[in-house]
C-alpha cells in the first residue's frame, strides 16, 4: 500500500479506504489521514466524483456500478468523520463538486437487486416533489455528514461568531430530523435488526448537535469531558451555573 506505483483505479481507492479506516481505529490518526489523502487524490484523479464513473467502469454490471457509488460516498463520509474527530473546520470532499448518484438500501445491495438510483438533486428537492420517493439509510448518512461539514465550519470558532451562522447550521440539523421519513425514525428495522447506516446517521446527528452546542452552552462541565474529542472543555465555556451539579 505504500508503493508509489499503485494502479490508478477504483479498487485501489477501496483498498486504501479500508486500510485508512482500520489504522484510524487503531489510533494511527496521522498515518490514516495521509492514506486517506492519497485515496482522495486518486479518487479525484480517476473521476469518481462524477456520475458517469460508475456507469463506465462496470460493464453493465449493476452491482459493481452500485459499489462504485458506495465507494465514493463511503470516502466522503469517512473524510468528514476523520476531520471532525481532529476538530478541523473543514473536510476536503465537502467542497468538491460531485454528481454521483445516491446508494440504495443495504438489503437491495446484498440481494443484488439494484433499483434505479436517485440523484442528490432529487433528494435536495424532495420536499417539493409530488410523489415522495423513499431514500436509503445511506442517503440520510450522507446528508448528515454534509451537515456536519457546515457545523464544522462554525464549530471551531468558539463563542466569537455571529449567531446567524450558528442558527443556519442548527437549522440544517433541525430539518434533517424533521424530514426523516417515517420508517427512518427508528434505527431498528421491522425484522428487529439494527439498520446500520441509519444507526450511524442518527449517532452522527446526536454527536453533531453536541459538537455545535456544547461549547456555547452554559452547563457545568464534568471532568470526564476532558477526555472527549467531541466537545472538549474550552476555557471560554468554563461557566458554572450554581444549580447544576458538578461532578
Ligand atoms: C473575534 O472576531 C473579531 C472580528 O472578526 C476579531 O477581530 C477578533 O480577533 C476575534 N476574537 C477572537 C478571540 O478570536
Ligand atoms: C440520539 O439522542 C436521542 C435523544 O437523546 C436518543 O433517544 C437516541 O437514542 C440517540 N441515538 C443514538 C443512535 O444514540
Ligand atoms: C480539563 O483540562 C484542563 C487543561 O488540561 C484543566 O485546566 C481543567 O481544569 C480540566 N477540567 C476539569 C473539569 O477537570
Condensed to tens digits (0 to 9), the pLDDT of residues 186-200 reads: 999 888 899 999 999
The alpha carbon of 226 and the centre of ligand 1 are apart by a number of angstroms equal to 25
Q: For residues 45 and 16, what is the distance between their CA atoms, to the nearest angstrom? A: 15
Per-residue model confidence (pLDDT) at position 162: 66
Q: For residues 191 and 105, what is the distance between their CA atoms, to the nearest angstrom? A: 15
In this structure, which residue's CA is closest to atom 12 in ligand 2?
Answer: 203
The alpha carbon of 143 and the centre of ligand 1 are apart by a number of angstroms equal to 31
Task: Kindly list the protein residues whose Cβ atom lies closer than 6 A to any atom of ligand 2.
Answer: 187, 199, 202-203, 206
The pLDDT > 90 percentage for the chain reads 64
Per-residue model confidence (pLDDT) at position 247: 41
Closest CA to 78 of 35, 137, 117: 35
Per-residue model confidence (pLDDT) at position 233: 62
In this structure, which residue's CA is closest to atom 13 in ligand 2?
Answer: 203
Per-residue model confidence (pLDDT) at position 241: 41
Q: Are 111 and 80 in contact (CB under 8 A)?
A: no
The alpha carbon of 4 and the centre of ligand 2 are apart by a number of angstroms equal to 43
Question: Among 8-12, 56-60, 179-183, where is mean pLDDT lowest?
Answer: 179-183
In this structure, which residue's CA is closest to atom 1 in ligand 3?
Answer: 226
CB atoms within 10 A of CB 247: 9
Bigger pLDDT: 46 or 230?
Answer: 46
Say if residue 233 is exposed, middle or buried (CB neighbours under 10 Å; 0-12, 13-18, 19+).
middle
The alpha carbon of 151 and the centre of ligand 3 are apart by a number of angstroms equal to 25
Which ligand is in closest contact with the Cα of 206?
2
Per-residue model confidence (pLDDT) at position 91: 92
In this structure, which residue's CA is closest to atom 1 in ligand 2?
Answer: 206
In this structure, which residue's CA is closest to atom 6 in ligand 2?
Answer: 206
CB atoms within 10 A of CB 186: 12
The alpha carbon of 238 and the centre of ligand 3 are apart by a number of angstroms equal to 10
In three-state secondary structure terms, 218 is: coil
Q: Are 7 and 45 in contact (CB under 8 A)?
A: no
pLDDT at 2 over 60: yes
CA torsion angle for 205, 51, 105, 36 (degrees, to 10)? Answer: -50
The alpha carbon of 155 and the centre of ligand 3 are apart by a number of angstroms equal to 20
For residues 115-135, average pLDDT: 89
Closest CA to 148 of 170, 167, 118: 170
Task: Kindly list the protein residues whose Cβ atom lies closer than 6 A to any atom of ligand 3.
Answer: 221, 223, 226, 233
pLDDT at 15 over 60: yes
Which ligand 3 atom is the nearest neighbour of the CA of 226?
1
CA 81 to each of CA 145, 182, 219: distance values in angstroms, whole numbers, following the listed order: 8, 26, 26
Q: For residues 23 and 169, what is the distance between their CA atoms, to the nearest angstrom? A: 31
Q: For ligand 2, pick from 202, 207, 211, 214 the residue to mutate: most ligand atoms within 8 Å of CB.
A: 202
DSSP structural state of residue 130: S
**From the CA atom positions of the chain, what is the Rg in Å?**
20
For residues 133-147, average pLDDT: 95
The whole-model pTM stands at: 0.85
Q: For residues 121 and 14, what is the distance between their CA atoms, to the nearest angstrom? A: 25
Which ligand 2 atom is the nearest neighbour of the CA of 206?
1
CA 60 to each of CA 56, 72, 112: distance values in angstroms, whole numbers, following the listed order: 8, 19, 13
DSSP structural state of residue 194: B
Amino acid at each position: 500500500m505504500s508503493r508509489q506505483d499503485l494502479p490508478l483505479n477504483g479498487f485501489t481507492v477501496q483498498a486504501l479506504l479500508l486500510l485508512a479506516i482500520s489504522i484510524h481505529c487503531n489510533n494511527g490518526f496521522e498515518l490514516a489521514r495521509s492514506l486517506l489523502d492519497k485515496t482522495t487524490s486518486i479518487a479525484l484523479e480517476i473521476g469518481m466524483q462524477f456520475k458517469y464513473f460508475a456507469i463506465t467502469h462496470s460493464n453493465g454490471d449493476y452491482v459493481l456500478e452500485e459499489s462504485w457509488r458506495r465507494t465514493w460516498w463511503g470516502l466522503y463520509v469517512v473524510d468528514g468523520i476523520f476531520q471532525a474527530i481532529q476538530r478541523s473546520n473543514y473536510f476536503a470532499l465537502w467542497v468538491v463538486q460531485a454528481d454521483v448518484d445516491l446508494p440504495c438500501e443495504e438489503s437491495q445491495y446484498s440481494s443484488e437487486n439494484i433499483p434505479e438510483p436517485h440523484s442528490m438533486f432529487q433528494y435536495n428537492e424532495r420536499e417539493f416533489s409530488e410523489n415522495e420517493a423513499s431514500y436509503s439509510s445511506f442517503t440520510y448518512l450522507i446528508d448528515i455528514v454534509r451537515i456536519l461539514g457546515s457545523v464544522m465550519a462554525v464549530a471551531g470558532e468558539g463563542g466569537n461568531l455571529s449567531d446567524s451562522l450558528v442558527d443556519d447550521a442548527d437549522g440544517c440539523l433541525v430539518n434533517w430530523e424533521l424530514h426523516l421519513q417515517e420508517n427512518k425514525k427508528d434505527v431498528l428495522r421491522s425484522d428487529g435488526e439494527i439498520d446500520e447506516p441509519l444507526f450511524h446517521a442518527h449517532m452522527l446527528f446526536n454527536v453533531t448537535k453536541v459538537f455545535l452546542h456544547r461549547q456555547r452552552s452554559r452547563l457545568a462541565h464534568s471532568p470526564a469531558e476532558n477526555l472527549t474529542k467531541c466537545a472538549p472543555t474550552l476555557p471560554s465555556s468554563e461557566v458554572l451555573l450554581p444549580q447544576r451539579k458538578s461532578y
